[in-house]
Amino acid sequence: MVEADGGLAPLEREVLELRALVRALSERLAAAVALLPRDEAIALARGESGEGGAGGPPFRLTEWHETIEVTRANIAAEMDLLWKRMPPRESA
Amino acid sequence: MTRRRVTIVILCWNRWELTRRCLETLKTHTDLGQVDVLVVDNGSTDETPARLREIPWIRVLTNPSNLGYVRGNNAGIRAAEPGSDVLLLNNDVEILQPGWVDSLRAAAHAAKDVGVVGCRLVLPDGRLLHAGTFILPDTFWGQQIGALETDVNQYARTRDVEGIVFACAYLKRELLDVLPGLSEEYVSYFEDTDFCLRAKENGFRTVCCGAVTLLHREHGSTSDAPELFDKIFRKSQATFRTRWKRALEARYTRSVSWQSILNFPTGYAMSCREILRALDAEGVRAAYSYVYGPGTPFPVREPENSGDYLLNVISKRETGRRPPVSVVYGQGDVFLRNKGKTRIGYTMLEVDGFPAEWVKNGNEMDEVWVPSAFNRDGFAASGLTVPARVMPLGVDVDHFHPAVKAFPNPAGDFVFLASFEWGERKRADMILKVFNQTFRRTDPVVLVCKVLNVNKPTQVGRQIEALGLSQAGGRIAFLYNKEFPYHQLGALYRSADCYVSAGRGEGWDMPLMEAMACGLPSIATHWGAHTEFVHEGISYPLRIRGLLPADARAPYYKGFRWSDPDPEHLAHLFRHVAEHREEAVEKGHRAAAEMAAKWTWGHAARRIAERLDAIG
């Protein structure tokens, strides 16, 4: 509900502010995309990436040994192996 | 705090190399201005006397011959500085940390009634040798607590114990004024437990100070001569039995027959082990018998050896054909195997009701125990008419606490940890998908999943790959079908930053409680037994979208419902925790404090003991 006596002015101001905000965000997005590799930039433009990890090559298990045998393990040795197996974030 | 002077008494007999290492490490890690070091040479015939004379900062008391451990130490206690506290130290002990005397003294003077303080002792290979002792009237064979577990800094707090080994024993002067030495009825062995029990008779407690860890080489003077050891041991044991039999038996003020499962890697068995230990500490003489086997839904015979001395003794106790009170702790379909005059069924389930057979069997009991109000209400809704009491389970805060050793991710990534058996109930698919989609591979965040699968048709690897996860999404690593010794599990939790338990329903959830006791913030489905101990102040409760039919392989779930955890809220919580780490750390601290204050196995056992008292 808009008041008749000059009530439109605040709304107009808000519209101007929002437009400026959208422009600024667009510029920041364009600058960020420019830093991405080409494939990732295209995937982002298609809406395939977004915030999360959807898109990109499918996840594949490495060093997976399917078994129903439960192996007794030592925590120190197993954690050491685990951290070595973890894909580094730098190589993404 | 009292800064009373301390006389460190080190008894030695030959084996100079041990004494040399003991003195060198002591000098490195001790403020010699605060202590007097008195070496009692028990008539050494090697280079020891000459070497001791070369050390200016010690006082030497030379006994003309080997008086034995007890009389040798008593000579040291008598020769200690007047008014000082006395710290007995074996010469095969090495000091590993600065401030160790201060910590022992602080533990001794933390309360008027503390008389004896021991510490953690580790072997050179990294195993924990000692964190206190106990002795059972069934066998009169003293046992060391935590013996030979891999040391992950378990038993790190100061706690009451029945006894300690005197390889390192801090004796407060107020106690020595009453008990001026070890009983010379013993040549060796049992004199330390005897002293602690006599201290107790005189109103003094014995504690183990977990903040101090010393290395014990265990090169005792009789360990290389087994026949001599056996002779001395048997003689001392007979003396001890005569002196303490009645007092040790009087420690038990109640008894119960406990029918359950102990020596299999199941949830009931793991919790049964903890309950039996805690009941014993609470003065309940439990006698265990296996409730499953041929003719039950789990027709396997149970191996006899639990790998634990106390539990083996409890398993061998006779219950009689018809014990006054018996508790069947297991699924409701074995309740009728209860052989007590007063019969109690103690069970739990992950859905909102109980199978008709369990309810029928439950109604044959005098009362039914469940760990949560969730299960109590589920039983009532399913038609249970006998009283249902909420008897919560607990957590072992000696093995699960914030100071347990961690093996942190060297890359510094924030680590979410989930631990589950692969299946519908635990929502592994949702956890993996939501995590993978919420984060990018470039984010400094990882998910570690400890996954178990013993069901042959289930191809876990294929199912994970079929989830459609992205290589560009949040990084996930697996510990697949690895079983860690229970005492090492705390180190797994401590190696993570947040624990995730986002399943559809839980009857209790020991792993979640263990992670919380380790000081981890957690994301936990806010439904089922979780509601008993999970709340906003100490965790991140995960919203549910509603209830669904409990569709899974387990026959017990048929016709009941479980929850539908909200994946969008899970995504929000994943991101929130990763972005508000200080807040998460604070929640973890509060979780650990609350677990220790309200949810230990000691609390659980106390409630059981109180109920047994009420039953009469």
Phi, then psi, of B613 in degrees rounded to 5 = -60, -45
Instruction: Answer whether A71 sits within 8 Å of B438, measured CB to CB.
Output: no
Would you tell me how many other CB atoms lie within 10 Å of the CB of residue B575?
A: 16
| CB–CB contact B465 A74 (8 Å) | no
The Cα–Cα gap between B511 and B584 comes to 18
What is the chain B residue with the closest CA to A70?
B481
Would you put residue B388 in left (φ > 0), alpha (ψ -120 to 50) or beta? beta
Q: Which residues of B touch A63 (CB under 8 A)?
A: none
| CA atoms of B452 and B433, how far apart (whole Å) | 18
Average pLDDT (A6-35) is 74
Nearest chain B residue to A90, by CA: B442
- By Cβ distance, the residue of A76, A79, A86 closest to B446 is A86
**Cβ pairs A/B, distance under 8 A:** 141
Phi, psi dihedrals of residue B576, rounded to the nearest 5°:
-60, -45
pLDDT at B610: 97
**Under an 8 A CB cutoff, do A82 and B452 touch?**
no
| 12-71 in chain A: CB under 8 A from chain B | 40, 49, 51-61, 64-71
Residue B200 burial (CB count, 10 A): 17
- In CATH, what is the architecture of B254-394+602-615? 3-Layer(aba) Sandwich (3.40)
Contact B121, B216 (CB under 8 A): yes
Residue B601 and residue B284 in contact, taking contact as beta carbons nearer than 8 Å: no
Chain A's closest residue to B450, CA to CA, is A82
pTM value? 0.90
Residue B410 CA to residue A83 CA, distance in Å, equals: 7
Decide if B441 and A79 are in contact by the 8 Å CB cutoff. no
DSSP per-residue letters across B546-592 = EEEE--SS-GGGTT-EEEEE-HHHHHHHHHHHHH-HHHHHHHHHHHH
Contacts of B480 in chain A (CB under 8 A): 64-65, 67
Q: From CA B126, how far away is CA B150, in angstroms rounded?
A: 6
Q: How many residues are given for chain A? A: 92
Asked whether the beta carbons of B346 and B271 are under 8 A apart, the reply is: no
* Contact flag B441-A87 (C-beta cutoff 8 Å): yes
Query: Is B492–A49 a contact, with Cβ atoms under 8 angstroms apart?
Result: no
- Segments in chain B below pLDDT 70: 1-2, 219-224
Complex-level ipTM: 0.88
Q: Are B34 and B63 in contact (CB under 8 A)?
A: no
pLDDT averaged over every residue in chain A: 74
pLDDT at B104: 98
> Chain B closest CA to A78's CA: distance in Å?
8
Q: For the ranges A12-16, A77-81, B465-469, which has the lowest average pLDDT?
A: A12-16
Q: Which residues of B touch A49 (CB under 8 A)?
A: 440, 472
Closest among B441, B479, B462, B413 to A57, alpha carbons compared = B441
Confidence at residue A49, expressed as pLDDT on a 0 to 100 scale = 47
For every residue of A24-42, DSSP letters joined together read HHHHHHHHHHHHS-HHHHH
Distance CA B129, CA B359 (A): 46
Least CB–CB distance from B452: residue in A70, A76, A83: A70
The amino acid at B49: P
B165 token code pair = 């080994």
- Residue B491: exposure state from Cβ atoms within 10 A (0-12, 13-18, ≥19): buried
Give the confidence band of A1 by pLDDT, cuts at 50, 70, 90. very low
Neighbours of B121 (CB within 10 A): 26
| Separation between Cα atoms, residue B576 and residue B88, nearest integer Å | 53
Tell me the shortest Cα–Cα distance from A24 to chain B, in angstroms: 24
Note the pLDDT tens digit of each residue in B166-177: 999 999 999 999
**Chain A nearest CA to B404, separation (Å):** 12
- CB contact (8 A) between residue A83 and residue B409: yes
Which DSSP helix (H) or strand (E) runs through B104? helix B100-108
Given a cut of 70, whether residue A42 has pLDDT beyond it is: no
Give A52 to chain B, closest Cα distance, Å.
4
Report the distance separating Cα B34 and Cα B523, nearest Å: 49
Q: Are B460 and B427 in contact (CB under 8 A)?
A: no
Instruction: Specify the pLDDT at position A89.
Output: 83
Among the CATH numbers 1.25.10.10, 3.40.640.10, 3.40.50.2020, 3.40.50.2000, which is that of B414-599? 3.40.50.2000
Contacts of A54 in chain B (CB under 8 A): 437, 470, 473
Q: Do domains B254-394+602-615 and B414-599 have the same CATH topology?
A: yes
- Nearest CA to CA, how far is A12 from chain B (Å)? 34
- How far apart (Å, rounded) are the C-alpha atoms in residues B488 and A74? 8
| Cβ–Cβ under 8 Å, residues B321 and B528 | no
Q: What are the structural domain ranges in chain B?
A: 6-247, 254-394+602-615, 414-599
> Alpha-carbon distance A89 to B12, whole Å?
57
pLDDT at residue B474 in the model:
96
Supply the pLDDT for residue A10: 79
* Check whether domain B6-247 has CATH 3.90.550.10, yes or no: yes
CB contact under 8 A, B478 and A64: yes
Model pLDDT, residue B233:
87
Our CA-based measurement puts residue B143 at a distance from the nearest CA of chain A, in whole angstroms, of 25
Q: Are B588 and B520 in contact (CB under 8 A)?
A: yes
CA B246, B249, B251, B253 torsion-angle sign: negative
Nearest-angstrom CA–CA distance, A69 and A72: 10
